[in-house]
């Protein structure tokens, strides 16, 4: 998809529709509450629309949306940690910092990510795939792999660490 194509309102609609469900899923995992998740995702899109980020190439835009979602969520956690007197003051969000630039490894294209995934030991790759790509619970993954449930979380974290290193390497080789 070329950049100018995405600038039109129709393209913006398409992007919003494509990523809304995805972001909502992540936001719900983070917040644990659908109303908060909706707010976060809405804020993330508003920020994207305001800052013209919708013009970015899609891989970069996606990483950027996730970063914004992260920042908005952390802001919420901070406010909550500071105490109830700051709760519900939505204006705090408006002043929230602009996200730092997206690292290049997070905006690699799908083929490069798949290639990186292939380099992982299946011991780590399989549970990571099931968790991250299929959305299975640790219990379901343990049952599928015939592995003790206690090992699933650490295998997934291991996969994440290794994957980051491999993706970073792929960027440096470019």
The residues that touch another protein, with contacts defined as CB under 8 A, are: 9-10, 12-13, 16-17, 20-22, 26, 29-30, 32-34, 42, 45-46, 49-50, 59, 62-63, 65-67, 69-70, 74, 77-82, 102-103, 105-108, 110, 113-114, 117, 131-140, 144, 153-154, 156-157, 160, 163-164, 167
Q: Quote the least distance from Cβ 35 to another protein, whole Å.
A: 8
Which CB atom, from 121 or from 134, has the smaller least distance to another protein?
134
Which CB atom, from 2 or from 150, has the smaller least distance to another protein?
150
Q: Quote the least distance from Cβ 164 to another protein, whole Å.
A: 6
Quick check: 105 and 171 in contact, CB under 8 A? yes
Q: In this structure, how many other beta carbons lie within 10 angstroms of the beta carbon of residue 161?
A: 11
Continuous H helices in the chain: 3-7, 9-31, 34-50, 58-82, 91-94, 110-118, 122-128, 138-145, 152-173
103: Cβ–Cβ under 8 A, 6 or more apart, which residues?
63, 171
Which CB atom, from 2 or from 74, has the smaller least distance to another protein?
74
What CA–CA distance (Å, rounded) separates 89 from 79?
A: 9
């Amino acid at each position: 998809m070329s950049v100018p194509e995405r600038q039109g309102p129709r393209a913006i609609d398409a992007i919003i529709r494509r990523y809304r469900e995805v972001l909502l899923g992540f936001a719900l995992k983070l917040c644990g509450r659908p109303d908060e998740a909706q707010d976060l995702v809405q804020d993330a899109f508003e920020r994207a629309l305001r800052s013209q980020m919708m013009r970015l190439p899609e891989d970069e835009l996606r990483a950027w949306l996730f970063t914004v979602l992260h920042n908005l969520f952390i802001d919420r956690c901070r406010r909550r940690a500071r105490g109830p007197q700051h709760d519900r003051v939505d204006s705090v969000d408006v002043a929230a910092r602009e996200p730092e630039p997206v690292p290049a490894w997070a905006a690699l294209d799908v083929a490069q990510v798949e290639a990186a995934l292939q380099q992982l030991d299946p011991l780590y790759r399989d549970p990571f795939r099931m968790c991250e790509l299929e959305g299975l619970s640790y219990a379901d993954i343990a049952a599928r792999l015939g592995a003790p449930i206690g090992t699933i979380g650490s295998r997934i974290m291991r996969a994440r660490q290794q994957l980051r290193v491999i993706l970073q390497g792929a960027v440096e080789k470019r």
